Chains A and B, each alone.
Chain A
Amino acid sequence: MSINIIVCAKQVMDPETPSSAFSVDSDIKQVTPVQGIPPVVNGFCENAVEAALQIREAAGGGTVTVLSVGNEFVMDVMKKPLSMGADSMILIQDQLCENLDALGTVNVLSAAITRAGEFDLILCGQQASDWDNAHVPLGLSETLGIPCLTEAKNIEIGDDSVTVNSSRTDGYEVFEANLPALITVNNEIGEPRYPTLRGIMQASRKTPEILSLSDLGLSEDQMAPAMALSDLYIPVSEAQCEIIEGEDDADSGRLLALKLREAKII
């Protein structure tokens, strides 16, 4: 069996950037890039790459193509999925993609996917750690007119169908859909593999295909945001500490429980 998978992966600011280095410019409503801390491939997108590689390995053949939209890619960062073992990569890099909203991203991705040709499966990270919106995969499946299965913790490919166990807070649900389908994953699908030294050296011989919006026949007004960001600020958190003292440990515990109930925490 051979299966062709497209993985959508986003370059995001490193979520482990220390909070002391994180700042936003409220005037232009943008996060200020942090000098010296390179971006990363979004964590759940790496999980999606891992899932795709496992599916390809289980199928015994096929291709994994990684697709990303952005305005300024850092190549050694974005090549990680290739070093992990993906076959090829398409990067839509365009200045106009700087402030894309979910709808714009969906339009670009679906145009790129249509251009790329036949596929069996699209895998996406459930959400990106920058804005945590989780909009794009849903919009993408809608636009492409294919089923969308979310939060997969297990994916099994049948003849012309896919079965997915979707995590829910109280367990999981089992869904089946026809191929082609779109599936979102998070860290429950399994840790992404390390790119090995060999993988890195092999990936360095693979050149990502870099396309602009005009290569995809998309115009600037098609990218106009449908959603406006009206305010961007870092919430101020105030920490107050109150020491609860009782007559003995048991009494302190009782008083603490009372306080917590008053504060509607328990």
Chain B
Amino acid sequence: MSTRTSEDERKQIVSMVRDFVRREVEPIAQTYDNEDIYPHELIPKMRDLGLFGITIPVEYGGMELDFTTFAMIFEEISKGWMSLSGIIGTHHVLSHIVSTYGTEEQKQRILPRMASGELRGGLALTEPEAGSDAQNISTVAKKEGEEYLINGRKMFISNGENGNVFALMAKTDPQAAPAHKGISCFIFEKPVEGFSVGQHIDKLGYRGIDTCELIFDDCRVGSENLVGGEEGKGFHHVMAGLETGRINVAARAVGVAQAAFDAAIEYSQRRKTFGRNISDHQAIQIKLADMASKIHAARLMVFDAAEKKDSGERNDLETAMAKLFASEMCGEVAMEAMRIHGGVGYTKALPIERYYRDAPLMIIGEGTNEIMKLLIAKRLLQQHAV
């Protein structure tokens, strides 16, 4: 639970991030995305600005901003280049897990370095054979004295190459029933013998940022890295962490959609067909109205979910709904922006095609939208049980 960030502070923060994005991110976004280049030179600036410690408590060196402000920051960054937000996305999932469930020693050891950006984090949950079905992971952590011996493979891990600390999900009790009771969460800090980064995955969108395979081959992790010092709680930890992940992913979707809309409404007033601006054609006006209304709705859902998270209330329903709605909306709005741009929207000359390529990440990442619907329905049926 965090204290509310004031309106005044929020406005200043948004204006600062917007300025940063305009000055430093927008000029490189298209090239870096096309050529899949990691923005190394932006990292020191992001560290100076404090972007690695947004929600980390002040006592551990962070800013302790509320989740509404957190969402606003992700939206602003994603307007310029969605990929960049990935560098601080799962980073904050990990920091949330540690600050909520970690032992005091773990918090002191990890959080200040995460807040400063010396440690850049990620989440290592997904495996080649276990994505949606996260309980089905096969990475094993076997206790040997004061250490755990880790064996397994993680797949599609954001920040896998450039990050250096991860929330690693592994089974400490592979026989447990139900399976999630056998899953534990470890703070895994590079470098460790037996650990290596596998293939760098080439992607449709969300380019520039590293998505990798992580390989654990008889890799030893000290038991002081078991989150909260307790086995079998990992699934619970990661699900709570993913709520923050879903807020950030939904906020990214709002940002990308807003950028697509801004480009479209401007273009529609410059492009003429049949003797008038295309914005004078009702068919285009209807698109613009639909796009803006959906973006507005999605943004309000994100803020609502964020506020619930801040209040400490249960928020899995609201975060799942926001993630589902915002990401689907983003896909639709990016497509509409492309239609409004016509042929030029399909070319590499404008960022419209990038928004279109980036949108599906929000549909698939942090739990697919099919899984979001299952989760939403399950909660609804619980709430409305007859």
Contact = CB atoms under 8 A, between A and B. Distances in A.
Contact of B8 (A75, A194, A197, A198): A75
Contacts of A197: 13, 16, 49-51, 53-54, 63, 65
Interface string B304-339: 000000000000000000000000000000000000
Interface residues of B, number: 20
B6 interface: yes
> Which one of A75, A197, A198 has the highest number of Cβ atoms from chain B below 10 Å of its Cβ?
A197
Interface string A74-85: 011001100100
Contacts of B51: 197
A26 to B, nearest CB: 26
B352 to A, nearest CB: 21
B262 interface: no
B48 A196 contact: yes
B8 A79 contact: yes
A195 interface: yes
Q: Is the interface of A mostly helix, strand, loop or mixed?
A: helix
A257 B49 CA distance: 51
B8 A204 contact: yes
A201 interface: yes
B290 interface: no
A200 interface: yes
Contact of A194 (B16, B53, B54, B63): B16
B46 to A, nearest CB: 10
A194 B42 CA distance: 14
Contacts of B15: 76, 80
B9 interface: yes
B50 A83 contact: no
Interface string B9-48: 1011101100110000000000000000000000001001
A204 B64 CA distance: 14
Contacts of B8: 75-76, 79, 204
Interface of A: 75-76, 79-80, 83, 194-198, 200-201, 203-204
B54 to A, nearest CB: 7
Nearest to B6: A204
25 contacts: A76-B15, A79-B8, A79-B12, A80-B15, A83-B12, A83-B16, A194-B16, A194-B45, A194-B48, A194-B49, A196-B16, A196-B49, A197-B16, A197-B49, A197-B50, A197-B51, A197-B53, A197-B63, A198-B63, A200-B9, A200-B12, A200-B13, A201-B9, A203-B12, A204-B9
Nearest to A197: B50
A74 to B, nearest CB: 9
A73 to B, nearest CB: 12
B16 A195 contact: yes
Nearest to A75: B8
Interface in B50-99: 50-51, 53-54, 63, 65
A201 B16 contact: no
Nearest to B22: A16
Contacts of B9: 76, 200-201, 204
A75 B12 CA distance: 10
Given A79-B12, A204-B8, 14 more contacts: A76-B8, A76-B11, A76-B15, A79-B8, A80-B12, A80-B15, A194-B45, A195-B12, A196-B49, A197-B54, A197-B65, A200-B16, A203-B12, A204-B9
A45 to B, nearest CB: 15
A200 B69 CA distance: 13
Contacts of B54: 197
A130 to B, nearest CB: 19
A61 to B, nearest CB: 22
B48 to A, nearest CB: 6
Contacts of A196: 16, 48-50
> Which one of B9, B12, B16 has the highest number of Cβ atoms from chain A below 10 Å of its Cβ?
B12
Nearest to A20: B269
Nearest to B19: A194
Contacts of B63: 197-198, 201
Q: Which 3 A-B pairs have the closest CB atoms?
A: A197-B50, A76-B11, A76-B8
A80 B12 CA distance: 7
Contacts of A203: 12
A204 B63 CA distance: 13
Contacts of B6: 204
A14 to B, nearest CB: 11
A192 to B, nearest CB: 10
A198 B12 contact: no
A43 B49 CA distance: 20
A201 B6 CA distance: 10
A197 B73 CA distance: 11
A195 B48 CA distance: 10
Nearest to A203: B12
A239 to B, nearest CB: 15
A195 B17 CA distance: 9
A196 B86 CA distance: 20
A83 B65 CA distance: 16
Contacts of B12: 76, 79-80, 83, 195, 200, 203
A43 B63 CA distance: 28
B66 to A, nearest CB: 12
Contacts of B7: 76
Contacts of A201: 9, 63
A194 B20 CA distance: 8
Nearest to B14: A76
